[in-house]
Structure 1
Amino acid sequence: MTTAQFIQGSEQARIIKMIMKLFDHWKLSTGEQLSLLGLPKENRRALVGYSNGQPLANDRDKLERARILLGIHKSLRLLFPHNRKLLYGWMTQPNEAFSGATPVQLIDESGLMGLYMVHTYLDRVRCR
């Protein structure tokens, strides 16, 4: 299944709503939210729109980021099913696997590749 097939029509609004709720649980700043979505730091208006039900932009980068963010959340739920503090705090905690950076910092610095790195790391940890 391609990313374009993953999110279509009204699904885009539902997916971005889930991601915005996830960002709230992760307690991310506006700048961090923009970074994880691949948006310029000046584009705060987009977050307001997403919070008010505007669908996610229909472009490959945004859809791929959405897919990976939801995959990261799924992995965290599987790793920490009974520990909400770890489930929602993991993204903002320093991690030796990322040279002491938080997963959010890694993504901010490395963009889409950082998202892939965090997701791959969680998949490896989960499969041990």
Structure 2
Amino acid sequence: MTDYTNDEFMYITKTVMKVLDTWNLTTEQAVQVLGLSAQTKKRQLDKYRTLKAFPNDPIIIKRLSHIVGISDALRTTFPRNLNMAEKWMNTNHRRFDNKTPLSIILEEGIDGLCKVRSELDCTFAWNATA
């Protein structure tokens, strides 16, 4: 698993939930992006915002890392307008065959997260190919 303390993992959980909220995802989309069970309900997601940390699972942790990386890259790409993150995630993009970055993530899972992050973060893309 990880070497995060409970407090650190709770902070990561809250941060990722804020990111997903800024992307304006539905409950179903958030569950899918996080790689949680399809039976996860809205009330369970709400607990992640305040009371409960995500499952300490290596696959989920990898997804969280990509989500935070995408968010950070969007913040540096659009430093003067944080609302652009949602717009960019939901705008068709020529490098994704005129699909939205969000649809790539939803269709391709962790590979989609990696593709979107690579598009935004050239250092991540370079490290991934090295």
Question: TM-score, normalised on structure 2?
Answer: 0.84
Whichever residue aligns with residue 34 of structure 1, its letter is V
Instruction: List gaps (5 residues or longer) in structure 2.
Output: 126-130
| C-alpha displacement of 1:46 | 3.3
Q: After the TM superposition, which residues 21-100 of structure 1 pair with which residues of structure 2 at under 5 Å, given as runs?
A: 21-44=18-41, 45-100=43-98
SS at match of 1:11: helix
Question: TM-score, normalised on structure 1?
Answer: 0.86
Query: Any idea what the Cα deviations from partners look like across 1:43-97, whole Å, max 9, x if unmatched?
Result: 1253132123201111101111111100001101111101223233211222111
CA RMSD in angstroms comes to: 2.1
- Which of 108, 117, 120 is 1:119 aligned to? 117
Corresponding residue pairs, total: 124
Identity of matched residues, %: 31
Instruction: List gaps (5 residues or longer) in structure 1.
Output: none
Name which structure has the greater RCO, CA cutoff 8 Å, separation 6+: 1
| C-alpha displacement of 1:108 | 0.9
| C-alpha displacement of 1:20 | 1.0
